[in-house]
Amino acid sequence: MSLEEIQDVRTPDSEPPAAPGNRGGSWAAVRPLLLRMHFYAGLLIAPLLFLAAATGLLYAASWQAEKIVYADELTVARVGDAALPLSAQVEAAKGAAPTGKVVSVWPGPDAEATTRVIMESSGLAEGETLTVFVDPYTAEVRGQLTTVGDALPLRAWLSTFHADLQLGEFGRNYSELAASWMWVVALGGLALWTGRRRKRASQLVLPDRGATGRRRTLSWHGVVGLWSVAGLVVLSATGLTWSKYAGENIGQLQDSLGGATPAVSAKLKPGGEAGGADEHAGHTMPEGTEMPPPATTADVGLDRAVAAARDAGVTESIRVTLPAKGKGYVIKENDKQVPVHFDTVAVDPADARVMDELRFADYPVLAKMTRFGIDLHMGQTFGLANQIVLAALAVGVMFLVFWGYRMWWLRRPTKDRTLSVGRAQPRGAWRKLPVTVVLPLAAVTVLVGWFIPLLGISLAAFLVVDLLLGLVARRRAAGAGATAA
């Protein structure tokens, strides 16, 4: 073992100092604190990050696996000359599942795809529906599956596994903790890696092939982290939008900024009128009197409603929600690949008039960003390419965790044979910070901890435990000093 490797193993912080231009500035003061936080966050949160990455890798692969596993249900036996009316396809689905109640119909997005007839059915869990797959050319029922949204059983199970490890509400804490800390660990690691002094500029973006021991592991850890950081921050931010605690705060903030996702109004007017003035406007209803329900009207049928929507420009990957009590048809696009198509119309079942329409171009900017972010996280925006990038990020995170633990192991003391591991950056780094840095840093930490509660709670727990360990260490040192005296 070379002298450099021996020093690399035995020193608590074997990373070289920052570039000379940074010495004496705020970075030199902040760096030890950042090192300590990155060490503990990586050490304690890394298992959750590894789990999130492993389950995310499975989910990213599920899109393609779904096409193979459920090929019979998803595709037709032979492409015909013309599709049958949707109403005929729905009747075929009803015949295959007579106890189900049809709530929506999803025509196939391409010539080889089957039509999905979505039903509510007894015996299903909350959020589940029964989907009957119908050949649009022959009305042959290709199969039935229990689905969650657009996810077939395999992807639905993997989605829940990624979100909560199949542990229910309690399990969601794991994914929220992982998402809460991922951006902190990623950005902290980026700052540490770019702030290092290096012999060649290429070592910033490429692994140092001449390095050995811990320096080689650190080189791979830093370079892969650098190339992954943008994707990890996006995954962290978008993952938090689904979380229980931070997600609620994000939703409230988005609503307050006028970025809530809009929706069409499919409500029918009293008396069956779909548009125009409300006949009750300007009149005061007696207290306790309910608005009369819409009168029963004739239904022009599924096919005419879809034709009206297509005439209004709603044509790509459409999904039709059938009329419920007091509401009309809602027909929306669901093409999530770039360029996206999300236009929606509400159609009056009495005469196929378009009652309301909503264009994706008219969405608030924040609503558009949320839509794009969610679909990127799920691997839909760019299709297969998106899923490959997600898989690469997941594999990268798993290697980053492995390399992080390996560096911890390589920094262990080697003079004795007792089982030991690497030491963290010494305590007290924050006391060396100037007040002009401490106060803003504390304020930002409190604000972020409040907005992302599991991050704040876990960070507070880390600080309490670290404080207690420090007190124990000082008492032991004082006791050893008294004994020696």
* Entry field: residues in the chain: 485
pLDDT at site 169: 92
144: helix, strand or coil: strand
Cα dihedral across residues 160, 166, 168, 170: positive or negative: negative
* DSSP state letters, 11-66: SS--SPPBPGGGTTSHHHHHHHHHHHHHHHHHHHHHHHHHHHHHHHHHHHHHHHHH
Q: Residue 254 to residues 157, 265, 361, 364, 368: CA-CA distances in angstroms?
A: 30, 21, 18, 10, 11
Note the pTM of the prediction, 2 decimals.
0.85
User: What whole-number distance in Å separates Cα of residue 130 and Cα of residue 101?
Assistant: 9
pLDDT at site 279: 39
The residues of the chain scoring below 50 in pLDDT are: 1-15, 17-24, 273-289, 295-296
pLDDT at site 196: 87
296: helix, strand or coil: coil
> In sequence order, which residues have a C-beta less than 8 Å from that of residue 452 and are 6 or more positions away?
180, 240, 245, 246, 249
What order do you get walking across the sheet with 128-134 strand by strand? Answer: 141-148, 128-134, 115-120, 101-106, 318-321, 329-333, 344-347, 354-358
Please name the residue ranges forming H helices in 342-452: 365-378, 384-410, 435-451
pLDDT at site 270: 74
359: helix, strand or coil: coil
User: What whole-number distance in Å separates Cα of residue 346 and Cα of residue 267?
Assistant: 9
pLDDT at site 40: 84
Nearest to 300 by CA among 341, 343, 356, 350: 350
CA atoms within 13 A on the CB side of 443: 6
Which tens digit of pLDDT belongs to each residue from 108-157? 999 999 999 999 999 999 999 999 999 999 999 999 999 999 999 999 99
Which tens digit of pLDDT belongs to each residue from 20-59? 444 446 677 788 888 888 888 888 899 999 999 999 999 9
Q: Residue 480 to residues 219, 418, 472, 484: CA-CA distances in angstroms?
A: 40, 20, 12, 6
Retrieve residue 86's tokens: 């949707």
